[in-house]
Amino acid sequence: QVQLVESGGGLIQAGGSLRLSCEASTNIFSFNGMHWYRQAPGKQRELVATIARGGNTNYADSVKGRFTISRDIGKDTIYLRMTSLKPEDTGVYYCAAMQHTDSYWGQGTQVTVSS
């Protein structure tokens, strides 16, 4: 069973930076892609950033230029570097991995940005 474990969330003032980590229990090259999602209170979960197996990255318009997704294949870990944080970035951030027709999710890590 694949496990994804996020870490790095917390309370941060607007304008600050955080780095989230997601460690997989298996070789991340086995996934078609890995993603960061977030869910704000009362809102639907939204896709924030994607890194494909080949290394291509994509971002939601709301985070372009501020967030960077990256990976360390040797550590089976992906990261989300978040800068210039805004209160609207507040939410639970989830790591997800897609493998063929299966998807795996972490438990989420809370990010709270105060104004």
- pLDDT for the residue numbered 100: 83
- pLDDT for the residue numbered 1: 86
Q: 27-68, pLDDT tens digit by residue?
A: 999 999 999 999 999 999 999 999 999 999 999 999 999 999
Q: Which of 60, 81, 62, 61 is nearest to 70 (CA)?
A: 81
Query: 20 CB contacts (<8 Å, ≥6 apart)?
Result: 6, 7, 8, 9, 36, 79, 80, 82, 93, 95, 109, 111
Q: 69-98, pLDDT tens digit by residue?
A: 999 999 999 999 999 999 999 999 999 999
- pLDDT for the residue numbered 14: 98
